[in-house]
Structure 1
């Protein structure tokens, strides 16, 4: 085979391994296998995990050949000690293997979007499992640092203001992960989550505090971010967007609405994917992670952000230059970009009206 043929075959094999890893993560097979101190037969793992032995055996076979699991000559399986932490964690490197299965739901529909006479893009409803995946991914990436590094990065005494009581809007809130965490942490502040997706808002409204009680300082609204309620003018002290602005068909209209809804002294804080607005620079700076983000954009962010004749079609990797230009064009006088090493692959934009 030629070098390119070998590369193509390697990619196909890695795709199979990735999906098998997702099965193991979803069914807690890695965590269950890690509880055994010596190599075990698939039958033992099947019994411990509540699964069928034949399926577990094939799963073990696949991942042993893929050099994810170890296998003995008598066909017993185990995780190498140095790999246990990586395979049993809830961090994004293993959770990311669940991404493609959620993005490929409307694969045939996506193909039609490529055609000149095909639809402009895809509706959010085409991605039935994506909100759950993004909720888990956000949890793995953001939960540890939300109340520490992230709040500190906002500056301007935001922590103290949250503790004494302000109004906060979370645009593109998804299943309400960030809003609910913040609402429970800062009970004197009022939080509103907004999302265009009906399934997302339904899931968000079902959230409870950790003590099982309903939230008294948290509401969720299903709404297009380009057309927020008229009575929200100069209502919010802080507006947040976590990885959701690039999914908007008209992010300019969304940011204009945010500008309208902010109080004159308010702060707009937007977490977005780390990019330069130049593909060559992205590839050189980020390496493989750039492939992951551009891939997610190809299968999800671009289609949902293109689903209108007047869509701007930015995609996830629109980058710093385009983002800063857009925010300023929407009325914000000052835009600061803040590195976020605590949120891998992200950058923070802080904007004020004046």
Structure 2
């Protein structure tokens, strides 16, 4: 029987979500085992993407080849390739013909690379797993520095790239008509926590009359951003290494539009950062804060139907957002799921006027703000 969800009480929804009313111990272990095995299979997918083996398999079409033939195409050691192919066949990613001893990737699975951001989450984020575990101890470290997460900048680029490619120019900016018109005529824009400059460069290429600045504390990410901008011949973009909570003194009232994409909750000193953001934004200027689409109360998040997105958000938060924020010892430790209500409260306390709170991009919520005229 199907019961309309809107006819259920919150208590009933919580019971359904937890499965506590009907689930047996055997069913519980079976369900969790399935989840764990699926996650472990993800390591194999990540290896195929990192080594380029999936690119080789996709290029083969549905032509069946032996492990040696695939290794030769990839320029790799056959023994490792053979083990990976067995791993992927067991996970039902590649197909295997036992009569010919050959492997292939069915054409309907050739879009596997679209999942790269999600697939690479596990190996990149959990490189700091044991360091984070040490933080749980009362006498352990307060957090883990950003630098300990190898290729985290790459992961941020992968997970945010789709939004910049498919939505930023096409949907997000046009949803703010006044900002969009100003971008066309020419304004100063600051992308805070720009990483490898994906959003900054996307905007700079489209709105050539405007001047864009990307700010980040990661020198490797900024090197990549500068290289990309130079390669494209962009002259209206500049990348600066600086802390959001301590921006250049001569930036007061400099910018017409500030863009902050999945950054604020990671900061050790978000209150200081918001004060600085208020300082550098012109009176009447607009601030876009995009945060994880979550509520500040756990109960409200557990009642949502898209539980998978909440689980994923908590994984990011526990292993990176929280320990990075707490690393200095006195960091705020907001966590990725501090929620839209607390975010709005923090923005209002920083003297921004929150104009709207709407869902935006992939699992994000957009808090659009203005700095009131003096």
Match of 1:79 in 2: 105
Q: Determine which structure has more spread, i.e. the larger CA radius of gyration.
A: 2
| Contact map agreement 2:142 2:327 (CA 8 A) in 1 | yes
TM-score, normalised by the number of residues in structure 1: 0.91
**Post-superposition CA distance 1:160-218 (Å, at most 9, x none):** 2112210000111111111122122222211111112232223323223554x3x3221
The CA RMSD measured in Å over matched residues stands at: 2.0
Cα distance change on mapping 1:283 and 1:64 into 2, 3 Å: farther
**Post-superposition CA distance 1:51-82 (Å, at most 9, x none):** 22211111111111111222222232222333
Q: Secondary structure at the match of 2:57?
A: helix
2:364 corresponds, among 327, 342, 346, to 346
Q: Secondary structure at the match of 2:120?
A: helix
| Contact map agreement 1:195 1:201 (CA 8 A) in 2 | yes
Deviation at 1:129, TM superposition (A): 0.9
Q: Within 5 A, what are the aligned runs for 1:273-288?
A: 273-285=292-304, 286-288=306-308
Match of 1:224 in 2: 243
Q: Secondary structure at the match of 1:226?
A: coil
Q: Distance in 2 between matches of 1:332 and 1:315?
A: 22
Deviation at 1:148, TM superposition (A): 1.1
| Contact map agreement 1:113 1:121 (CA 8 A) in 2 | yes
Q: Secondary structure at the match of 1:106?
A: helix
Q: Within 5 A, what are the aligned runs for 1:11-22?
A: 11-22=35-46
**Post-superposition CA distance 1:215-263 (Å, at most 9, x none):** 3221112111111112111110000011111110121221121111111
> Is 1:336 aligned to 2:356, yes or no?
yes
**Post-superposition CA distance 1:11-44 (Å, at most 9, x none):** 4422321011011222332332233333322222
Match of 1:159 in 2: 180
Deviation at 1:316, TM superposition (A): 1.1
Match of 2:330 in 1: 310
Q: Secondary structure at the match of 1:305?
A: helix
TM-score, normalised by the number of residues in structure 2: 0.86
| Contact map agreement 2:157 2:196 (CA 8 A) in 1 | yes
Q: Within 5 A, what are the aligned runs for 1:1-354?
A: 2-34=26-58, 35-74=60-99, 75-85=101-111, 87=112, 89=113, 91=114, 93-156=115-178, 158-209=179-230, 211=232, 213=233, 215-285=234-304, 286-340=306-360, 343-354=361-372
Q: Distance in 2 between matches of 1:38 and 1:272?
A: 44
Cα distance change on mapping 1:334 and 1:8 into 2, 3 Å: closer
For structure 1, the 5+ residue unaligned runs are: none
Paired residues in the alignment total 345
| Contact map agreement 2:61 2:106 (CA 8 A) in 1 | no
Q: Secondary structure at the match of 2:48?
A: helix
Cα distance change on mapping 1:81 and 1:17 into 2, 3 Å: same
| Contact map agreement 1:328 1:335 (CA 8 A) in 2 | no
Q: Distance in 1 between matches of 2:321 and 2:355?
A: 24
**Post-superposition CA distance 1:256-295 (Å, at most 9, x none):** 2111111111000111111011223323322112111110
For structure 2, the 5+ residue unaligned runs are: 1-24
Q: Secondary structure at the match of 2:240?
A: strand
